[in-house]
Structure 1
């Protein structure tokens, strides 16, 4: 079982150490049956996972539909569900496929960036309808890389109003970069940052400013992408880093990490999952899983003992920064 629940800011929303990332059950890259998706969510529940994250972007709403169905019979107060705003889904008359966006689904809708106040309201209403649930616990601004101004000036104030109204429990920002989330921590009253791929054994950019800032401001951090899209799960030629083939130097470093972990009897996946918890701002690690087997593996790896000597050796070998906090 996954133990421990940690608060997200001052919101009252608490999350466990392991979160279920639901992009996979939205047919990320390859198709998945409804039954396989339901089995993945059921396995997460059996392993003690009580935080589930989705988004309209994931499979053009398919992830929300499947996750909502899988959770509908569960006690609503027993789990936390998050989704995201920033992309509205507009129906199109002729469906092609959505593989250009990475999802093996018919392109029955098109994504439209919208960080307006009205767009935020509509997005949440649409998500509630797809999920078939009565409320959303946590809402993230999703990837506003090229939309910083409307996200700050329009979307964020609307999320703040929705939180005040009790429509959502907590609000935050989810991105694959650390710089803009740091600005939100400085300038707004968000509860949480979902930081993907920027605080891992291979990439510690989040440590430069965002994580210390979040800690000082009492903002929770959920770390996603701890395997950096695959390289730290299984380092081998052709493995991916940030959704592209990993450069040779990063592959070499990942293999060094795997070798040193192996000398301590620790799977690399276990060290990758445990590493973020060295920082006091980190509340949870979110892992994208698409099958019951992957869920059970993530839960087992998170429970695996990682000795202090491994962290010391990683620092001594220069594989992680000497000042990186470790569990």
Structure 2
């Protein structure tokens, strides 16, 4: 599989590349990122022509860096998505900074807003930070506590933006599968971004979300394929310390991958493509070297026998679809 292979989102004409660029890291997640612009440019050169961002990432920092990196890049050569649900406003005197895990943020505060007006204002502000006149996709971002407002206001606003031709595709991005499933079943979405719920460690999206997407013709972008680092050599799972049983399971996965001379990270990136609803896998990069490493790992050959051995070892259930050599 090649990094730059393209698929369309749902029934839209918006293309995404098989490997896409997630920008939370360059927003300063947990540590400063001095090479953010260079990292975006290198990702584009390597074929990651779908870029995903959000106002939340570094309180606008990621969007501004992407905008700088895209200066002079032909607009029809890339696809970009941003998100709505958090508006940014200047901090008032005496207000404490947000504690969201991002460093070196500008002096702003995040405020939840899934109103119709909030969705449009969020998009307008994102376009200003990006220096673009349009984005291709808008996703509702983490509406876990705002489901009713999504149905009443946020989704109608997104649908209007699509109907007016202002954006090409709409959807939602979350760290859970259950609410995304309800959105897919009840709304006309082109895409969902599901983070951490369809990985080598967690296939909870397989029970309802992925079948619903396949039935409705909704594409899926998979984020969090390393489960916040555990499948990439770290010790955190879903942003907390991993329990011993998961550390042991990861070691068993690694042993099987080593037997086939495939890095565990390469298998983790390839795994989601076993399901036909998956259009793209999204990974974050902090440096140009990390972008190069991700691209090289993504294109590694993963033999079908590896998936067979994972099933035989009880590390994947028999009904979990796995990639084949014929998969794009």
Return the TM-score normalized by structure 1: 0.96
Q: How many Å apart are 1:94 and its aligned residue?
A: 3.9
Deviation string 1:167-192 (CA, Å, 9 cap, x unpaired) is 11100000000001100110010100
1:18-57 equivalence runs, <5 A: 18-33=19-34, 36-57=35-56
Do the aligned residues in 1 keep the contact of 2:274 with 2:321 (CA within 8 Å)? yes
Deviation string 1:231-266 (CA, Å, 9 cap, x unpaired) is 00115xxx1111111111111101110111000110
Q: How many Å apart are 1:148 and its aligned residue?
A: 0.5
Aligned position for 1:315: 311
Aligned position for 1:260: 256
Return the TM-score normalized by structure 2: 0.96
Q: 1:288 aligns with which of 277, 284, 305?
A: 284
Deviation string 1:185-206 (CA, Å, 9 cap, x unpaired) is 1001010000000000000000
1:116-135 equivalence runs, <5 A: 116-135=115-134
Partner Cα separation in structure 1 for residue 138 and residue 207 of structure 2: 25
Partner Cα separation in structure 1 for residue 98 and residue 260 of structure 2: 41
Aligned position for 1:67: 66
Partner Cα separation in structure 1 for residue 94 and residue 19 of structure 2: 36
Change (3 A) 1:206 1:75: same
Change (3 A) 1:275 1:321: same
Deviation string 1:97-132 (CA, Å, 9 cap, x unpaired) is 757200002451111100000000100000001110
Aligned position for 2:245: 249
Aligned position for 2:265: 269
3-state DSSP of counterpart to 2:136: strand
Q: How many Å apart are 1:3 and its aligned residue?
A: 3.5
Do the aligned residues in 2 keep the contact of 1:98 with 1:105 (CA within 8 Å)? no
Task: Specify every segment of 5 or more residues in structure 2 that has no aligned partner in the other structure, as ranges.
Answer: 324-328
Do the aligned residues in 2 keep the contact of 1:16 with 1:49 (CA within 8 Å)? yes
Partner Cα separation in structure 1 for residue 238 and residue 320 of structure 2: 22
Change (3 A) 1:98 1:313: farther
Do the aligned residues in 2 keep the contact of 1:10 with 1:218 (CA within 8 Å)? yes
Partner Cα separation in structure 2 for residue 54 and residue 304 of structure 1: 26
Partner Cα separation in structure 2 for residue 177 and residue 216 of structure 1: 19
Partner Cα separation in structure 1 for residue 247 and residue 210 of structure 2: 26
Aligned position for 1:240: 236
1:13 maps to 2:14: yes
1:78-97 equivalence runs, <5 A: 78-94=77-93
3-state DSSP of counterpart to 1:133: coil
Q: How many Å apart are 1:293 and its aligned residue?
A: 1.3
3-state DSSP of counterpart to 1:231: helix
Partner Cα separation in structure 2 for residue 292 and residue 205 of structure 1: 32
1:326 maps to 2:326: no
Partner Cα separation in structure 2 for residue 115 and residue 21 of structure 1: 23
Change (3 A) 1:202 1:98: farther
Aligned position for 2:4: 3
Q: How many Å apart are 1:71 and its aligned residue?
A: 1.0
Partner Cα separation in structure 1 for residue 159 and residue 71 of structure 2: 27
Partner Cα separation in structure 2 for residue 97 and residue 273 of structure 1: 38
1:138-287 equivalence runs, <5 A: 138-235=137-234, 239-287=235-283
Do the aligned residues in 2 keep the contact of 1:199 with 1:276 (CA within 8 Å)? yes
Partner Cα separation in structure 1 for residue 137 and residue 14 of structure 2: 8
Partner Cα separation in structure 2 for residue 95 and residue 211 of structure 1: 46
Aligned position for 1:304: 300
Task: Specify every segment of 5 or more residues in structure 1 that has no aligned partner in the other structure, as ranges.
Answer: none
Deviation string 1:210-235 (CA, Å, 9 cap, x unpaired) is 00110111000000000001000115
